[in-house]
Amino acid sequence: MQSSASLQIVADWITNCRKIAVLTGAGISAESGVPTFRSSQPRISQSDRGEGASENSPTPLWEKYDPSELACAQGFLKHPELVWQWYDWRRRLVEGVEPNAGHLALAQIEKLIAPRPVTIITQNVDRLHHRAGSQNILELHGNIISFRCFDHGHQASEVPYNLLEPPLCNPPHCNSKLRPNVVWFGESLDPTTLEASMKAARQCDLFIVIGTSALVQPAISLPYVAEGNGAKLVEINIERTPLSDHVDVFLSGKSGTVLPSIVDLAKAHGGAL
Ligand code: APR
């Protein structure tokens, strides 16, 4: 755990900055019970397996695959039922958990420094920042709560749970299979979202990176863009990453502990909540 002096420095920067950009990864949702990307896949609880499952029920098929084989267009075309059921399970998982103290602290920071802006740029697809109350969120990798059709991108609403295969896009549209509104491996990010993220990185004077292994482009170029434009860089993670040697302050620890401590210090410094 870092010194309280480092926490105080970051709290002071938050209190005095003009604009904050935050890049989050799977680590910020770990304390809500959402598995991180590069941790081993968790065993699935019996309740997640559905009624009638016993301890001896077979392991779900998707556990036998590397996620990168399923989270791609080729995986969906090859195994549409399997990919659909995997995302259905993940959608039920993220909707069944709650934002944690880290998500809530970021929403508090937004209120604390208003009307100065905080932009949350997230690689997460779980919508937990929205549910925590953050207002200005850019979902770099989309989300698993909404859907569009594979062939034409028609948006779909009210997609039922527990379907064994992807439903079809409704007539008068096209009858193509629905897929989650995520950015799969090999796909480009939404250019509007990416440009808005770049702009937030260019314009902020404080950039905070939380709970990401800092391995995936283009997300991880954002702190370097911010640094190149004079922003201070802060990283919060339980372990060091390839970014750690470049940041001004590395705060070691769980985001659900570190972020509330920073908020407490920033409030004591005179912020109004
Ligand atoms: N607090 C802070 N950091 C944490 C915590 C926690 N409680 N728990 C885990 N971490 C850190 C880990 O140390 C690791 O550095 O979170 C990071 C999670 O890394 P990944 O699993 O690689 O997730 P992420 O960086 O979000 O992955 C980026 O890769 O495959 C793609 O599209 C996928 O969005 C994903 C992207």
Residue 130 among the catalytic residues: no
Which atom in ligand 1 lies closest to the alpha carbon of residue 212?
Answer: 25
Q: What is the CA radius of gyration of the chain?
A: 20
pLDDT in 10s for each residue of the chain, 273 residues = 567 899 999 999 999 999 999 999 999 999 999 988 776 444 333 333 333 333 344 456 777 888 889 999 999 999 999 999 999 999 999 999 999 999 999 999 999 999 999 999 999 999 999 999 999 999 999 999 999 999 999 999 889 999 999 999 986 778 899 999 999 999 999 999 999 999 999 999 999 999 999 898 999 999 999 999 999 999 999 999 999 999 999 999 999 999 999 999 999 976 544
Out of 130, 141, 154, 246, pick the active-site residue.
141
Choose one of 210, 213, 217 to mutate for the ligand 1 pocket test, by most ligand atoms within 8 angstroms of C-beta: 213
In angstroms, what is the span from residue 272 Cα to ligand 1's centroid? Answer: 31
Q: What are the start-end ranges of the H helices in 17-78?
A: 27-30, 46-49, 67-70, 73-78
Which residue is closest in CA terms to ligand 1's atom 14? 213
In angstroms, what is the span from residue 122 Cα to ligand 1's centroid? Answer: 11
Which DSSP letter does residue 203 get?
H
In angstroms, what is the span from residue 1 Cα to ligand 1's centroid? Answer: 19
Sheet holding 178-182, edge to edge: 155-156, 142-149, 178-182
In angstroms, what is the span from residue 131 Cα to ligand 1's centroid? Answer: 20
**3-state SS, one letter per residue, for 206-255:** EEEEECCCCCCCCHHHHHHHHHHCCCEEEEEECCCCCCHHHCCEEEECCH
Which atom in ligand 1 lies closest to the alpha carbon of residue 254?
Answer: 1
Which residue is closest in CA terms to ligand 1's atom 26? 25
Q: Output the ligand 1 site: residues, CB below 6 A.
A: 25-27, 30-31, 36-38, 123, 141, 211-213, 216, 236-239, 241, 254-256
